[in-house]
Each structure stands twice: as C-alpha cells, then as structure tokens.
Amino acid sequence: MSVIEADKTVCEGIGMCETQADTYFQIGDDGLVEVLVDEVPESDRGYVRAAVDSCPVSALRLQG
Amino acid sequence: MSSFQNRHLLVVGAGLAGLRAVEGARGAGWSGPITIVGDEPHPPYDRPPLSKAALSSEEEPGVPVLRSSEVLEELRVQHLSGVMAHGLDTERRTVTTSAGDLGYDALVIATGSTARTLPGLTALPSVHVLRRYDDALAVRVSLARARHVVVVGAGFIGSEIASAARARGIEVTVVEASGRPLERAVGPLGAARLMQLHADAGVRLLTRTTVSGVRTSDRGVEKVELSTGETLAADAVVLGIGARPATAWLAGSGVALDDRTGGVLCDRRLATGAPGVWAAGDVACVDGERSEHWTAAGEQGRVAGANAAGAGDVFASVPFAWSTWHGRRIQVVGETTAAEEEEREDGFILYRRDGSEVGAVGIDSPGPIARLRRALAGRR
Ligand SMILES: Cc1cc2nc3c(=O)[nH]c(=O)nc-3n(C[C@H](O)[C@H](O)[C@H](O)COP(=O)(O)OP(=O)(O)OC[C@H]3O[C@@H](n4cnc5c(N)ncnc54)[C@H](O)[C@@H]3O)c2cc1C
Ligand code: SF4
C-alpha cells in the first residue's frame, strides 16, 4: 500500500493528474488538486505513479 | 518494411513532447523497439522549473527529470543522449546523426525550439538565453553576484527571470521592443494587468526600447546601451526574446515548414505530409499555430506517438498555460486574442467573442480558471 501526498501551495491546477488517474485526483472548486482516495493498492500503483510523475510542478508524492 | 513486431519507432528530440510520444506509442500498443535521440547530455527533463525554482532555490538544482530511470526502463526505450540529428531522408526512411544513420518505420519530430539571440551578443560573458538546464545554471551564477540585471523581452520567460531577480533583491530593468508587451497574446486589458505586477514589484519596464550595445570587461558585462540613448550600469543581461523551431536538420528533407511560424506543418492528428512522419511540441505548427506551451507539447506528443502506432487520435485540448511572477500564479486558458475583455472579478479577466466565453487570464484565480477550462473542454 502506498500513500499519495499533495502540496496545494505548489499545485498550479494543470490537471495532468486528473487526466491520468481521475479515480484518485480531481481539480476542486478552488482550482487546485484534491486527492479523492489517498491509499493506493499495489494493483493501481503503476498508473498512479505515472500520474504523480506527470505533474509539472512536482506537487505530488507517492510514499511507500 | 520490417515485420510488425520489429517495426522501429524513432523519436528525434528528447524533451517533453518526445517522451510523451514514446508513452503514447506504448499506450497504443507499439511493441517494436523505440529509440529517442537528443543532443543534450541529460535524460528527458522539464523546462518550466528552469525559470522559476531553479533560479530562486538556495542550493544548485538538479536536472528536473520528467521520469525516473525505472519508468524509462519500463517503457523499453533506448535513449541516445548527446546525439545530434543532422538530416532526414524520408524516402530511405533514415535520419543522419552524429552517431551514424538511424533507420525508422515511423518517425516523430520533437526537436522543440532554440532561443533567439541578438546579433553581436552571443558568446559574451554574463549575457544569457534561458532554454536549457545548462543555461539555467549559468544564469544562476550571474544572478548570484549581480546588483543590476537587464532582461530583454517582457514576455512570459523574460517576466519570470525578472521575478526571480527581484526575489533576490536585484535591481531589474526590462527592455521591450514593442509598445505594449504581451498585448498580442492577451489583449490590452490582460497585458496591462500583467505589466502592473512588474510595476508593483519594483521592476523598471522600458517599452519601445532595444539594446544597441553591451560594454564588457574581463569581469563580464559593465554597461548596456539602449536605443533611447540611455546607458545602464548592469552586471548581467538575460534575453527572453522568443524561440524559433529547431528545424535546421530538416532542410531539403521534403518535410514542409510553415512560412509564417517556421514550424513543421501538420494536421490535428500531428501527421506531416511525409509518409510515416509525425511532429509534436514546440517544433510543430498544428493547423497554422505553434502553441509553445507545456500542456500542448505533452498532449501533442502523446497523440503523435499513439497515431504513429496506428491510433486515430486528434489533438483538441483547450489551450492552457501557467506562469509565476513575483509569487503570483498566472494562468491563461482558451483564446485570449481578438476578443472582448472584461475583468469579471479581481484577477479574473474573461474573454468573449460573439457573446460566448472563449478564454480567460487569471492572476491568483485558479478556481474560476478551472471552471472555465472545464466548460470549454465540454464544448469541444
Ligand atoms: C525556461 C522555460 C520556462 C517555461 N515555462 C513554462 C511554463 O511555466 N508554462 C508553460 O506552459 N510552458 C512553459 N515553457 C514552455 C514549455 O517548456 C515548452 O513548450 C516545452 O518544453 C516544449 O517541449 P518540446 O518537447 O516540444 O521541446 P523541448 O523541450 O525544447 O525539447 C526538444 C529537445 O530536442 C533537442 N533537439 C533539438 N534539435 C535537435 C537535433 N537536431 N538533434 C537532437 N536533438 C535535438 C533539444 O535539445 C531538446 O532537448 C517554458 C519554456 C522554457 C524554456
Ligand atoms: S498535475 Fe500537479 S499541478 Fe496539476 S493539478 Fe495535479 S497536482 Fe496540481
């Protein structure tokens, strides 16, 4: 099990994360990232990793 | 042509668009070998941080790589770094490079762009452009000992450099040739609001002004002479005067370039006129436009790679770009030219054409920008 961490002070609302893994990320009404589910089972790790990596301002981390 | 599983995809240009082309092709089921060729010595990396965090951080920044080495390994892509493409033969399906000839079954052109310079100003110490990681390191060194910096060009990159310099307490003069900077991109109201941010932060902006000469000593830049006759004492000059598509290697290849922008002509599927050749990112001119923004370069890369692998995808994303000036979040969405402008709420400038909302500029307004972006995407 891995855990998603998002830093809203860094997020630019670009939405790459939502485009790639919309069960985990959404742009909220404030225009910034909201993590919908923060625990990621092994089976989803690959594509959540790709979404985390795709953030151009490194606002996301996948721990563990 | 080789058997289906052994078909070779060649991507020239190892930046964002090139990397996303590799991912797009694998995502669409390309099973053969993929090679990505880039003239820089680094793994594919991201440019936006170069004019932001990389200039302001205390410690020297590492290369802002786009993907970890594990992810690159999973993509089964061979990266030839430090290799320059010199020519393309679309009939023999061969790219000539500094490391020999490379054949391909499908080719994605993703060489991005090269920063413009001013005649007579290249190769002078402490006169910089900012396009590559190595440029960012050089600009950092200059900023670290500068008291007065002259930035040439009040576009997005010039403005970010000015912001980084102000944040270090450096005196900044921005010299801009046009009368109204950024007006072509975001209209008179949007441009005025953005330029106000510079004034508020203590940046001196000189419009209708160009650099006529730079005086240097062995310590670097000493003085900058302006077209207005004024001479500024300055220790560094950074040019932010745009970038032209990196297409020199395509000369004589038959791949057509757009007359106006110089970009590689392609349609919304990112196909060029040559068989088996796609283009994406800053180098591409899609339907008459070069985007030169991160989100477009990435999405075009993905579409070009997927289509090279046989998908039928179309590039149709809503234009979106961001920037950071003096700690303020700037976002530009949709179409912001040739439209009626209105500051709908503080820091949210809305653009309308024939009554319908077509775009916006946000200054610290991510919420309204996100809502408009979603609405515009829904209409496509
Ligand atoms: C300093 C800076 C800050 C930016 N900030 C933002 C921002 O905040 N927001 C935003 O939306 N956009 C921003 N951008 C724009 C964005 O980074 C670009 O749109 C994006 O990098 C384009 O990607 P690309 O892959 O098309 O080209 P590039 O990133 O330029 O990659 C092309 C690669 O191809 C290589 N290459 C060129 N010619 C050859 C050859 N003949 N043979 C081999 N290799 C070759 C180049 O060296 C380069 O590595 C910024 C750009 C810069 C330079
Ligand atoms: S990709 Fe990064 S910047 Fe964009 S919305 Fe997600 S977290 Fe924010």
Q: For B330-353, write each residue's pLDDT tens digit.
A: 999 999 998 899 999 999 999 999
Q: pLDDT by residue (tens digit) across B8-42?
A: 999 999 999 999 999 999 999 999 999 999 999 99
- CATH classification code of B117-239: 3.50.50.60
Write out chain B residues lying below 8 Å of A27, CB-based.
370, 374
Band of pLDDT at residue B1, cut at 50, 70 and 90: very low
Q: What is the dihedral of CA B294, B166, B141, B113, to 10 degrees?
A: 20
Residues B143-173 have pLDDT tens digits of 999 999 999 999 999 999 999 999 999 999 9
Q: How far apart are CA B319 and CA B86, in angstroms?
A: 32
| C-beta of A13 in contact with ligand 2 (< 6 A) | yes
Nearest 5°: the CA angle A8, B68, B138 is 80
Q: How far apart are the first and last CA of chain A?
A: 7
Q: What is the pLDDT of residues B253-293, one digit of tens each?
A: 989 999 999 999 999 999 999 999 999 999 999 999 999 99
Does residue A12 have its Cβ closer than 6 Å to ligand 2? Answer: yes
For B367-377, give one letter per residue: b (16+ CB within 10 A) or e.
bbbbebbeebe
- Specify the amino acid at residue B208: R
Report whether B245 contacts B258 (CB < 8 A). Answer: no
pLDDT (0 to 100) of residue B3? 60
Provide DSSP, B17-53: HHHHHHHHHHHTT--S-EEEEESSSSSSB-SGGGGTH
CATH T-level assignment (fold) for domain A2-63: Alpha-Beta Plaits (3.30.70)
Yes or no: is domain B4-114+243-308 CATH 3.50.50.60?
yes
Taking 90 as the threshold, does the pLDDT of residue A12 lie above it?
Answer: no
**Residue A63: is it exposed, middle or buried by C-beta count within 10 angstroms (0-12/13-18/19+)?**
exposed
Ligand 1 neighbourhood includes B85 CB (under 6 angstroms): yes
Min mean pLDDT across B94-98, B255-259, B375-379 is at B375-379
The secondary structure of residue B61, as a DSSP letter, is P
Domain boundaries, chain A: 2-63
Residue A19: pLDDT band with limits 50, 70, 90: confident
Q: How far apart are CA B113 and CA B21, in angstroms?
A: 17
Return mean pLDDT, chain B.
Answer: 94
Q: Whose CA is nearest to atom 27 of ligand 1?
A: B112
Predicted confidence band at B4 (pLDDT cuts at 50, 70, 90)? low
**pLDDT tens digits, residue range A38-51?**
999 999 988 898 88
Closest residue CA from atom 4 of ligand 2? A14
Check CB contact of B366 with chain A, cutoff 8 Å: yes
Burial B283-306 (b: 16+ CB within 10 A, else e): bbbbeeebbbbbbbbbbbbbbbbb
Other Cβ atoms closer than 10 A to B184: 13
Q: Can you give the residue ranges of every domain in chain B? A: 4-114+243-308, 117-239, 327-379
